[in-house]
A and B are shown apart, each in its own frame.
Chain A
Amino acid sequence: MLLGRVKGTAVCTFKAPGMDGLKLLLVQPLNKRLEPTGPLQVAADVVDAGPGDLCLMVRSREASLALPEMKFVPVDLALVGIVDELEVRPDRSFDFTLRRGWNPYT
């Protein structure tokens, strides 16, 4: 699951059966610092997001499970939440390295 920002809409007339009425949005995938990761992608919207919204997205098979009715549609990216608040600690607060020997965490 990843973050993305809505950049625009995609309009398609001819779609696979089951995709009728699906709202398709252009989204920019983002990392935790809200920096772009890769090119724009098209996602199916299930939460009525609008341009500029920061969203939570799911990929792969689970994207089609997010759709309200049809569970077997060719969709592999879906918007499943609108992010109100994102709190991320700076990287220097934590150690992300697995070192040789015991790494105690508690």
Chain B
Amino acid sequence: MILGKVVGTVVTTISHRDFKNRRLLVVQPLGLEGDAPDDDFIALDNTQAGIGDTVLVNREGGGARMVLCNPDACVISVIVGIVDSVFIE
């Protein structure tokens, strides 16, 4: 899983049935001080996250299929938690 910040939303009317009734959010991964930022990506929301929230994102299809309870879901990135705080040594 990675830590990311929700920076935007995507609205699709015509989409694959696996994406219906869930929100698609634009996520920017968080990095340590001095690191170059990672590329942003789109994730399916499973936790009612919104813009500005720091989230935990699962980026593996098998885990996403488990969350969505659909063994054939064509989803890779799914938001599995909203982060309250992070401690870095």
Contact = CB atoms under 8 A, between A and B. Distances in A.
Contact of B41 (A1, A60, A82, A101): A1
A32 B76 contact: no
Contacts of A106: 82, 84-85
Interface stretch (A10-18, A20-28, A89-97): A89-97
Interface residues on A, range: 35 or more
Interface string A64-106: 0110000100000010111111111101011011111111111
B88 A60 contact: no
Nearest to B51: A89
B85 A104 contact: yes
Interface in B16-51: 16, 18-19, 24, 26, 28-33, 37, 39-44, 51
B37 A105 contact: no
B88 A101 contact: yes
Nearest to B12: A81
B88 A98 contact: yes
B88 A31 contact: no
A81 B74 contact: no
A66 B16 CA distance: 7
B26 A88 contact: yes
Interface of A: 1-3, 31-32, 37, 46-48, 56, 58-63, 65-66, 71, 78, 80-89, 91, 93-94, 96-106
Given A1-B76, A82-B12, A96-B31, 15 more contacts: A32-B7, A58-B75, A58-B76, A60-B76, A81-B10, A81-B16, A81-B24, A85-B10, A85-B11, A88-B8, A88-B26, A94-B28, A96-B29, A100-B33, A101-B87
Interface of B: 3, 5, 7-16, 18-19, 24, 26, 28-33, 37, 39-44, 51-54, 61, 64, 72-77, 82-89
